[in-house]
Amino acid sequence: MTAPELIIVRSLTDSDMGLFAAHRRATTSKQRAIALTTPAAELLLHPSVFARKGGDFDCICLYGATISRELRPIRKVGKNWRLGGHQLPGGEFADLDSKDFALIRSIRHNDGTAPVLFTFIGRRSQRLVQAGLAAVLTGSLNQSVAVFDESSDKFAPLAELFSAVPARIATQTISRQLAFA
Indicate whether 175 pLDDT > 60. Answer: no
How does residue 176 score in pLDDT terms, banded at 50, 70 and 90? very low
**Spatial CA neighbour of 21 closest among 68, 59, 57, 64:** 68
Residue 178: the pLDDT is 41
- The answer to whether residues 109 and 47 touch, using CB atoms and an 8 Å cutoff, is yes
Q: How far apart are CA 147 and CA 98, in angstroms?
A: 19
CATH entry, 5-170, from 2.40.330.10, 3.30.420.40, 3.30.1220.10, 3.40.50.720: 2.40.330.10
Domain ranges of the chain: 5-170
What's the rounded mean pLDDT across residues 7-32? 80
- The answer to whether residues 33 and 88 touch, using CB atoms and an 8 Å cutoff, is no
Indicate whether 52 pLDDT > 90. Answer: yes
Q: How far apart are CA 59 and CA 36, in angstroms?
A: 15
Residue 26: the pLDDT is 64
- The answer to whether residues 61 and 112 touch, using CB atoms and an 8 Å cutoff, is no
Q: Which residue has the higher pLDDT, 134 or 37?
A: 37
Q: Which residue has the higher pLDDT, 165 or 144?
A: 144
| pTM listed for this prediction | 0.85
Q: How far apart are CA 65 and CA 166, in angstroms?
A: 13
